[in-house]
Amino acid sequence: MSKNITSPTASASSAPPFSGQEATSGDQSNGYRNLHVDGEAAESFIAEKRIGERIKHLRLKKSMGLVELGRHTGLSASFLSQLETGRVVPTLRNLARIAMVFSKDLSYFFEPEPRTLFRMHRRDERVRLPQTGVDDPSYFFESLGYHVPDRQLDPYFAEFLPLKEGRVPRAHQHAGCEFLYLLSGSLDVRHGELTHHVEAGDAIYFDANTVHSYLCIGKTPATAVIVTLQHPLLMSVGSGSRSIQLGTGKVRSVPPGVLPAAATRKNAEQMQ
């Protein structure tokens, strides 16, 4: 289907993306011309913007039914249903009514949709890395977040090996905080001058700038999920709070091959 619309003369760069074939006719002395717009192209443009899906998303976010939205907009529930499923094309008037209900500008329905962050790390894609800086590692770890760019935290899966004669746990420290949830086994976590016994199902959260180490004390390996945060530690001072930057910088774990060997070693230091 197609229709004729009258609009001011415009350059090609300002033409709407759904402009179809153009035909000139009539008296153009007043600076106007008749444009012949391909209706299918216009509908395709609207479909690409997923306007119906955006309306449904707004409605469900407010836990609002079609009938209730209809009362607010003066549109029937059946029409709104067809609008959400893309069976009808909305007029700007109807779209404006809906936009006002959700306190949105009309441009909301035509702006590019923001991309949300979602990354998956398949089990068979992870890389198992040993504790660095020792000839006989007491644990191995796998990064669970190496696909995420500019991530705000670093999650790991760690496996701690049972205590062996002659093996001494290597203590380490790094900026920020650390969270550990023990999945299986038993673990002694030394934090500063104190040693804390952790059993499966226990969780601990601590200042990672304080020297700490892990020791598996059972006969079977202990497994844990560890999350390190790189943000400055918030310390309470008097009646207020202030941020204190602990450590000198950020380190992140990535699989070997993604970074040069030297950089890989540096990123692994956080789980030493």
Predicted confidence band of residue 184 (pLDDT cuts 50, 70, 90): very high
Question: What is the C-alpha to C-alpha distance for residues 112 and 16, in angstroms, rounded to an integer?
Answer: 15
Q: 113 falls in which pLDDT band (50, 70, 90)? A: low
Torsion of CA 146, 147, 149, 152, to 10 degrees: -50
CB 188 within 8 A of CB 163: no
Read off the pLDDT band of 133 (50, 70, 90): confident
- Chain mean position to CA 228: 17
Q: What is the pLDDT of residues 22-39, one digit of tens each?
A: 334 444 545 555 556 566
Q: Look at residue 17 in the predicted model and tell me its pLDDT.
A: 36
* Closest by CA position to 230, among listed 157, 172, 179, 158: 179
Structure token digits, residue 189: 């976590």
How far is it, in rounded angstroms, from Cα 133 to Cα 269?
8
Pair of tokens at residue 54: 């955006």
HEC string of the chain equals CEEEEEEECCCHHHCCCCCCCCCCCCCCCCCEEEEEEEHHHHHHHHHHCCHHHHHHHHHHHCCCCHHHHHHHHCCCHHHHHHHHCCCCCCCHHHHHHHHHHCCCCHHHHCCCCCCCCCCCCCHHHCCEEECCCCCCCCEEEEECCCCCCCCCEEEEEEEECECCCCCCCCCECCCCEEEEEEEECEEEEEECCEEEEEECCCEEEEECCCCEEEEECCCCCEEEEEEEECCCEEEEECCEEEEECCCCCCCCCCCECCECHHHHHHHHHHHC
pLDDT of 186 higher than 80: yes
Q: Which of 25-34, 105-114, 179-188, 194-203 has the lowest mean pLDDT?
A: 25-34
pLDDT band, residue 224 (cuts 50/70/90):
very high
Q: What pLDDT is attached to residue 45? A: 66
- Residue 198: phi, psi to the nearest 5? -120, 130
pLDDT band at 49 (very low <50, low <70, confident <90, very high): confident
Distance from chain centroid for Cα 40: 36
